[in-house]
Structure 1
Amino acid sequence: MSAIRRELHKGIKWTGISTLLITGIQIFQFAILGKIMSISQFGLVGMLTTIVVFAQIVLDLGLGSAVIQKEEVHKRTLSTLFWLNLMMGLGVCLVLFFTSPFLANYFHRKDLTDLIKILAMMFLIAPIGQQSQYLMQKELRFNMLGAIEAAATIISFFTLVILIFMISPIKAFVISQVVLYGLKGILYFICYQRVWRPSLVFDLSECRSFLSFGAFQLFSRIVNRIGSNIDVILIGRFMGAEALGVYNLVYQIVTIPVLKINPIITRVAFPVFSKNQQSHTALNDGFLHMTKLLSLVTFPLLMGLTAVSNVFIPAIFGEKWMDAVPILQIMSIVGILRVLMNPNGSIILAKGKANIAFYWDLGVLVLYGLSLNFAVASNSLKVVAWTYVMVSIVNFLIGRWLLTWLIQLQWKHYLKTIMVPLLFSILITAIAYVTKVFSALFFQTTAILPLTISVGFSAGVYLLLLLKVYPNYFLRIVNKLARGR
């Protein structure tokens, strides 16, 4: 096994354990909110999440990627960046607090005003641990990062469960998010202070190269997030909270692999790729290996979901969400494409090409914005979903061309990498569909049993296929777990 693969696997183990725990808790939380909240309230969750995403990007200033990418960072520079993050946190908090009425007015929901003001409080606390988080990631301390994030998620979840019976579900959700991000910031700082703690130094001249790199990364991420959230922004304003509620439920489901599973690998990949940024051979090997891992895990999840969506939705979220079924089947294609596109950023940033990422994201934003603006005018979520699919295909093809230019990635090697996961996933999707249809004949009054049987049987077949095709790979995993490594 190559050195870059060994480093990837070491980090993936710890991020994988914590992410699986966190994802399990968040899916359970997601199901509870889907059952308790009205469709309109779930739309508010989408609006609030979008606001938080943009605020977090501004808070970061693109400096996190700069700290990780630079081979050497002086303590004076880190201290300056720490105080800069705190000032940005205060600024973001004040901006959100005073602009909350205008943001609420944009979405035509006055009840958003107080919720945004509560959310703003997290930005007073979260920045405390940002530099510590970046340094732990740079040093590949993923065991510590995983433990912190798992602990914060568990405490946040219990906060939600307690509050949901005392106040409105949407307000309970907002407070739980403040607890989650605030607690993570505090724990990052506490756990890393033995290694590094900020001094009373603030000298921006020390940070010029970081601010230059970070500026492109900041604008790139803002543009990227506008592009990936333009659907929520437009649907929320022009189609209303209820339509956004249905769309948000679907979007949250299909992006679970991108937001929860992909980071297990991509979070490790960026610092590892940065250490090998001069070797195209190593980057090609690492990228293709990462793509194979992501494909093996996420392809069957998203493709299988299309086969069981009509029993999955009522079983997990209730009959009131049945309008989401056809949208979920279409948007699963978007989920697959986003899984494949997501690792691109690790390569681009590792090569120090934050400017290219910015221009690419800007072009994609224009394409997404114009396309979805016309789609929303149809007042049909199906039209919006299919438009998203078509634009995502174009974005995917551009991304492959960009990597061909950056690291000489060859199409034939890329297609060979994803072919086995794709064929296996098509097979188990067909098995899941047939199993669901036959089991539904025997259990006509419930959706949970056909769902459980079809998912369980197809998952078993998939694991047997993987053991047959990749026996040595699974044997290595078992041996490592047995040795506790």
Structure 2
Amino acid sequence: MKDLNKILKAGLLWSAIQVLFRRIFDFIVKLVLLNVLFPEDFGLVTMTVVFTSIIQVIADLGMKNALIQRKKAQLFDIHYQSVFWFGIVWASLIFILVYFFGNPLISNFFEEPRTVKILPVLTIPIIIEAITLVHRVKILRVLNFKKMALIQTSSVVIAGLISITMALNSFGVWSLVFYISLPYLIQLPLFLILVKWLPRFTFSIRYLQEIFKISGYIFITTLLIVLTGNLDNLFIGKIMGAKILGIYSLAFMFTILLSSQITSMMDRVLFPFYSRVQDDIALVKRYYLNSLLYYAIVLYPVMLLMLFFCSPILDFFFDSKWSTAAPVIRILAFVVPVQLFTHKSTLVYRSLGKPRLETFIYLLTLLFVMLPAVYLGSFYGVEGISLGIFAAACINLFVSLYFLNRELSITFKDILVKLKAPLIGFFMTILIMSPIYLFVEAHIFVQLLVLILIYGSVIYYFHGEKIKNLIRKILLLK
């Protein structure tokens, strides 16, 4: 167990380094693109990404996570070989179908002919992901996040520099399209060189079916996740057009997307970790609750920053064409703290070998929570949809709590106790900052200092020693 803990800590460290570096670099790239391009350009790409996200899930069919989850004693090279060859043929077929049939359908749905040229370029990654699927699984199964970080970070940096160059040379929306697609092309030779695995001309239907027995529910669940996560973009793009969708995508980027990218640095480590210790429920419960605490400590102040300072941030970094995103940012800034209460609880069920439960929960929330909330919100514009997402997050909280209690004996009280410090810091900061923000003409840096002091003091009061010990361990980690 000590060796496993050491591997987990090393994985978390490298995952954190990758995410932090990528977020900073991504902000620099987006800062250039947002000032050069227009909301319509971002909205146009978001429209297309709604469907390419679904296409990527269909191309994967849950095979990657099924290979990660399968126990070592039951996993052989023939599984990898069979998945590799099937994946390439399947992804190529999907690309052809999308190119000839999906393109006009998507263009007609959004009444936006420009998606016809963009969609094929954004669909190319599905073929590359099929070629590198086994290589990525090999890295993730041994929790070698250092290698994964080096591959993905280097590809993003190169793609980002090319994208900035394109934007500054009047390539318009294509600079954003290539920023999304190009990293996959750059990663291809890196995975093939750095991961010591070679395909052979062997294939077995029987071994492929063994993977499909696991991947079926993972595929359906992932598809439900993507559909749920893109309902807002679908409604806004269809009803309100590319410009409003571009404005919303910026607000989403500063809140929910930022949250998911930060939490991903632990999620991507915890899923294979949970799978390896799935028989020890007490250990899974402890790590899950600790992960919620770390997420909240980091993200609650970020959302406070968005809540009180989104307008100055938009005015300072971007021009006036993006200023209307501020009200949406403030609404979505309240969504993240609610979501973090039971963040990725379904990930635990999947790693424990209960994919049916995960699928059922996502189907339940999509049909009876998210879809009605977004639909009703769409009658009141982009702010209405944002409020609908907040309402859906509150309802999903109680759904998730029910299943956490049933499956892991985690109660609402357990979570409240674990998140006591960030919750107190969050609400105390709002209570003190609101009158200062509304009625006192204090300089923005003074207000920012007050926010940091309030929240930081509360966290230090409850967890000062733990934070110092964690920093020491990270610094000493080899």
Cα distance change, pair 408–185 in 1 and its aligned pair in 2 (3 A): farther
Cα distance change, pair 438–375 in 1 and its aligned pair in 2 (3 A): closer
Shift of 1:461: 5.2
Letter in 1 for 2:54: F
Letter in 1 for 2:169: M
Cα distance change, pair 456–84 in 1 and its aligned pair in 2 (3 A): farther
2:473 equivalent in structure 1: 480
1:18 equivalent in structure 2: 18
Letter in 2 for 1:458: L
- Is the CA contact 1:62–1:217 (under 8 Å) kept in the aligned structure 2? yes
In the superposition, the TM-score normalised over structure 2's length comes to: 0.93
Cα distance in 1 for residues equivalent to 2:234 and 2:467 = 43
Shift of 1:278: 1.6
Worse-matched range after superposition: 298-307 or 337-346: 337-346
Cα distance change, pair 481–351 in 1 and its aligned pair in 2 (3 A): closer
Unaligned stretches of 5+ residues in structure 1: 443-449
1:71-108 deviation line (CA, Å, top 9, x unaligned): 12100111111112212221232222222122112111
Worse-matched range after superposition: 164-173 or 143-152: 164-173
Q: Does 1:183 align with 2:186?
A: yes
Worse-matched range after superposition: 31-40 or 287-296: 31-40
Worse-matched range after superposition: 26-35 or 386-395: 26-35
1:350 equivalent in structure 2: 351
Shift of 1:233: 0.6
SS at match of 2:111: coil
Q: How does 1:365-384 map to 2 (within 5 A)?
A: 365-367=366-368, 368-376=370-378, 378-384=379-385
1:390 equivalent in structure 2: 391
1:244 equivalent in structure 2: 245
2:122 equivalent in structure 1: 119
Cα distance change, pair 59–459 in 1 and its aligned pair in 2 (3 A): farther
2:70 equivalent in structure 1: 70
Letter in 2 for 1:136: I
2:103 equivalent in structure 1: 100
2:307 equivalent in structure 1: 306
- Is the CA contact 2:121–2:177 (under 8 Å) kept in the aligned structure 1? yes
Q: Does 1:198 align with 2:191?
A: no
In the superposition, the TM-score normalised over structure 1's length comes to: 0.91
Shift of 1:33: 2.2
Letter in 2 for 1:59: A
Shift of 1:291: 0.7
1:263 equivalent in structure 2: 264
SS at match of 1:420: helix
Letter in 1 for 2:213: S
Question: RMSD of the alignment, in Å?
Answer: 2.3
Q: Does 1:153 align with 2:156?
A: yes
Worse-matched range after superposition: 367-376 or 278-287: 367-376
Shift of 1:126: 3.0
Cα distance in 2 for residues equivalent to 1:189 and 1:164 = 30
Cα distance change, pair 155–232 in 1 and its aligned pair in 2 (3 A): same
SS at match of 1:322: helix
2:462 equivalent in structure 1: 469
Cα distance in 2 for residues equivalent to 1:273 and 1:403 = 15
% of aligned pairs identical? Answer: 17
Cα distance change, pair 188–339 in 1 and its aligned pair in 2 (3 A): farther
Cα distance change, pair 481–439 in 1 and its aligned pair in 2 (3 A): farther
SS at match of 2:113: coil
Cα distance in 2 for residues equivalent to 1:155 and 1:439 = 45
Cα distance change, pair 134–439 in 1 and its aligned pair in 2 (3 A): farther
Q: Does 1:143 align with 2:149?
A: no
Shift of 1:356: 1.3
Shift of 1:440: 5.7
Worse-matched range after superposition: 7-16 or 416-425: 7-16
SS at match of 2:269: helix
SS at match of 1:200: coil
1:174-229 deviation line (CA, Å, top 9, x unaligned): 12222112222432232112xx2222111121122210211111111111211111
Cα distance change, pair 363–268 in 1 and its aligned pair in 2 (3 A): same
1:131-187 deviation line (CA, Å, top 9, x unaligned): 111221111101111111110110110110111123432111112222112222432
Letter in 2 for 1:344: S
Cα distance change, pair 293–52 in 1 and its aligned pair in 2 (3 A): same
Shift of 1:305: 1.4
Letter in 1 for 2:35: K
Letter in 1 for 2:92: L
Shift of 1:8: 3.9
Q: How does 1:326-341 map to 2 (within 5 A)?
A: 326-341=327-342
- Is the CA contact 2:66–2:215 (under 8 Å) kept in the aligned structure 1? yes
SS at match of 1:278: coil
Letter in 1 for 2:407: L
Cα distance in 2 for residues equivalent to 1:157 and 1:434 = 41
Letter in 1 for 2:48: L
Cα distance in 2 for residues equivalent to 1:246 and 1:44 = 11
1:286 equivalent in structure 2: 287
1:273-300 deviation line (CA, Å, top 9, x unaligned): 1122122211111110111111111111
Cα distance change, pair 6–229 in 1 and its aligned pair in 2 (3 A): same
- Is the CA contact 1:337–1:393 (under 8 Å) kept in the aligned structure 2? yes
Letter in 1 for 2:195: Y
SS at match of 2:410: coil
Cα distance in 2 for residues equivalent to 1:432 and 1:4 = 43
Worse-matched range after superposition: 474-483 or 382-391: 474-483
Worse-matched range after superposition: 386-395 or 44-53: 44-53
SS at match of 1:395: helix
Worse-matched range after superposition: 460-469 or 221-230: 460-469
Shift of 1:236: 0.4
Shift of 1:454: 3.8
Q: Does 1:86 align with 2:79?
A: no
Cα distance in 2 for residues equivalent to 1:185 and 1:457 = 47
Cα distance in 2 for residues equivalent to 1:355 and 1:479 = 41
Cα distance in 2 for residues equivalent to 1:369 and 1:31 = 32
